[in-house]
Amino acid sequence: MDILLDNLPGLLIAIPLLGAFLTPLLSRAGDTVRNVWILLITALSSLCGLLVASRVLETGTIVYTFGVDTISQVIPPDSGGIPIRIIFTIDPMNAFMLIIAAIVGFCITLYSISSIEKLSGKDGFFTLLLLLITGVYGMIATGDLFNFFVFLEISSLAGAALVAYRIDKGVAAEAGLKYAALSTLGGMLFLVGVGLLFAQYNSLNMAVIADRMQMTGLDIIAFVLFFTALAMKCGAVPMHFWTPDSYAMAPSAVTAFLVVSSQASLYALFRVCFTLYGGQINLLTVGWVIIILGVLSMFIGVTMAIPQKDVKRLMAYHAVSQTGYMLLGVGVGLAALSSTCLSQSVGMMALKGGLFHIMNHALYKGLLFLTAGVIMYRCGTRNLNQLGGLGHNMKWTMVFFMIGALAIAGIPPFNGFASKLLIYESTFLFNPLLAVIAMVVSILTLASFVKVFHSMFMGPKLPEYQDVEEAPKPMLIAMGILAVLVILFGIFPQQVVDTLVAPAATALIDYQGYISAVLGGA
């Protein structure tokens, strides 16, 4: 048992990767066997992620090395203090992200069992889905820049194929190609940045590079490349143009996890700013750059969402807008923590708000995309002008959509309000205009979702949907899990902040602690 627990970080990758490659073989035994296998693999990988996160929050940072038992074998005496093995470094910030991926990963797999039952190519779908989950886990857990690139490529390739899964007269294929092209560009920029740092420091390990960073001209170029690539991958304006097509055309369960994949890139952006360059860059300047990206993402995202008639495309633009809140919170945190005019508590409050919103967004946006998938599954359309009166026969779906809509608009007592309140309060103390913009965007978000709710669920039954049925039970259970968490995180926000968010925020700003966790045992 101790051996199993000690190797949980390695199993994070091994379990879904093994599941992905065995899925086509087990599918020969029938759909039931394959579905049980997929659920088992996803449940085990999610359990593994939750257990790893729990151990980190209880005992501190885990430094897991592949192929050896001790850190002294990773950093031999004659290596000049440079790790020569692949290392997973999991601190409370990584643990925070693992919890998000574990919860949403299980829910979208359970949902997919029913949502794609009418489609062909299920073996390939589930294989790619497990590879996407593997890539996201790897992006979150790795302590190595090159291996982050490898896992980024795994998630990008699997994501591009899943976006194009439905074909849909070539529209989905076009969206998949766009996703692949932008992911390739982002990956290439990131890889060039990795090469620049490796050329100077002869290492790929983030802790080693952070410890030896001299902030030369090449380091600045590498930072710009990292920042651009990761901002593109997380869908921040003005590099957001892949999100509407990709999120709209992917199966809804895939879209819900693509949100988590984008958040893994957002996590990497914060890790680069706080940990890799934390002791060298001008945090105030970088903080304001992130704030500007956040404000642009919030405003442009919500204004582009309002006129949309395709419900998933509308939600995709809202995902861009909500990413702006995360960027705003963390950007204000960066700027305030480096400012001599404000107390450190303002910066920490903003940082907690931004990070808390990452988790809340994954839950309520995942729920909203799953409800949109139910509408598509039962009605065959996402066009709001062709829908109406569905609340008569789809009461649970209507309730789940309402919960997600109120949460994304920041209405109490749902989780979106809890994180937005932290952002409002901290940004008001930092710059009142930013808080006003954030609140106006929330009002526009509420107006947008009132329109969507009325278009889909209110009014008399339309003739073509007289006999429409509620979603299958696996889809309802998956949505129910997310809905319950949205409510609980809104009712008990302080407990979530104290248990999960505050340790993540503290770990993120403690770059010296990250470095010493890896190099201290050498």
Strand partners for 63 = 89
Distance, in Å, from the CA atom of 90 to the CA atom of 508, rounded to the nearest integer, reads: 11
Q: 297 near 249, Cβ under 8 Å? A: no
Sign of CA dihedral 279, 282, 283, 289: negative
Give me 139's structure tokens.
Answer: 């992006």
H-helix segments, 272-338: 283-305, 311-337
Distance, in Å, from the CA atom of 85 to the CA atom of 77, rounded to the nearest integer, reads: 14
Strand partners for 89 = 63
In this prediction, residue 291 carries a pLDDT of 94
H-helix segments, 116-164: 122-141, 145-163
Distance, in Å, from the CA atom of 126 to the CA atom of 42, rounded to the nearest integer, reads: 11
In this prediction, residue 235 carries a pLDDT of 87
- pLDDT (tens digit per residue) in 434-457: 999 999 999 999 999 999 999 899
Alpha-carbon distance values, 328 to 41, 229, 353, 400, 442 (Å): 36, 19, 9, 28, 14
Cα Dmax for the chain = 77
Give the number of other Cβ atoms within 10 Å of residue 213's Cβ. 20
Give me 95's structure tokens.
Answer: 């643990």
In this prediction, residue 84 carries a pLDDT of 59
In this prediction, residue 521 carries a pLDDT of 52
In this prediction, residue 119 carries a pLDDT of 77
- pLDDT (tens digit per residue) in 318-370: 999 999 999 999 999 988 888 766 678 888 999 999 999 999 999 999 999 99
In this prediction, residue 337 carries a pLDDT of 85
In this prediction, residue 78 carries a pLDDT of 47
Cis peptide before 238 (omega within 30 of 0): yes
Low-confidence ranges of the chain (pLDDT < 50): 78, 522
- pLDDT (tens digit per residue) in 147-157: 999 999 999 99
In this prediction, residue 60 carries a pLDDT of 87
CA dihedral 315, 321, 324, 326 (to 10 degrees): -40
